[in-house]
Amino acid sequence: PGHIAKDCKSENKPGRQQRQGNARVFAVGQRQRNTGVEGTITLFHNLVRVLFDTGASHSFISRSVVNALGLTPKLLGVPLTVESPLGNSVKLILVCESCPLLIGNKEFLADLIILDNNSYDMILGVDWLWCNHAVIDCHGMLMSFHTPGQAVVRHRCIKTDATMKFGFLALVERVERVLALEDVPKVSLYQDVFQDIVGLPPRRVVEFTIELIPGTSPISKAPYRMAPTELKELKIQIDGLVAQGFIR
């Protein structure tokens, strides 16, 4: 009594509530705002879907990713209360510190706060973007990092779209099974007859050719349904009709 609260020299009582920090994040749940661009980066040698969000004050990681990668979180020095555009708020107390992120062949570090019910694997907010001198080109869908004294790192992104629910990074390859001798019932009984082909056949001493007399007509002729004699008679009749003017 008799002095201002800020000048009180008495120690804090044990039961006094710890001060909390405030944060905001827009990309929570299915409803999203167009406050950033998204892309795919590498976290601990695993591909993750990330949102570079200028509307988020902090950086977050989904609890499902933490469990899948077996990360060991730590307690936050000050509990963080996150507010979403839906009006909901949640208290966060765990963080994964110094997580290595590989973007454009360059490694970055990030302290990621664990967040439940996240639409993305990771959200990199203003705190991380500011520290790494990040510039977002919303028209060109390009992220660039202008770290002083280092080469500019660029990363291609895509526009956030609530209608795109799933994405896959895969290579489709048609696999065809090659038949072996054992797979053919009849041939498998006589495997000693069919020798393995190790390469092209050797060149022969004498090349096989058929020599023809000069002026010889073609050996093969186009097959017809009529006999040659009948075809000859038909040609005579057609020529007669043409000569008489019945056929033009």
17: Cβ–Cβ under 8 A, 6 or more apart, which residues?
Answer: none
pTM: 0.52
- 218 has pLDDT over 70: no
Domain 19-159: give its CATH superfamily.
Answer: Acid Proteases (2.40.70.10)
What does the pLDDT look like over 4-26, one tens digit per residue?
555 565 555 444 444 555 555 54
pLDDT, residue 157, reads 78
- More confident position, 196 or 98: 98
Distance separating alpha carbons of residues 152 and 1, to the nearest angstrom:
60
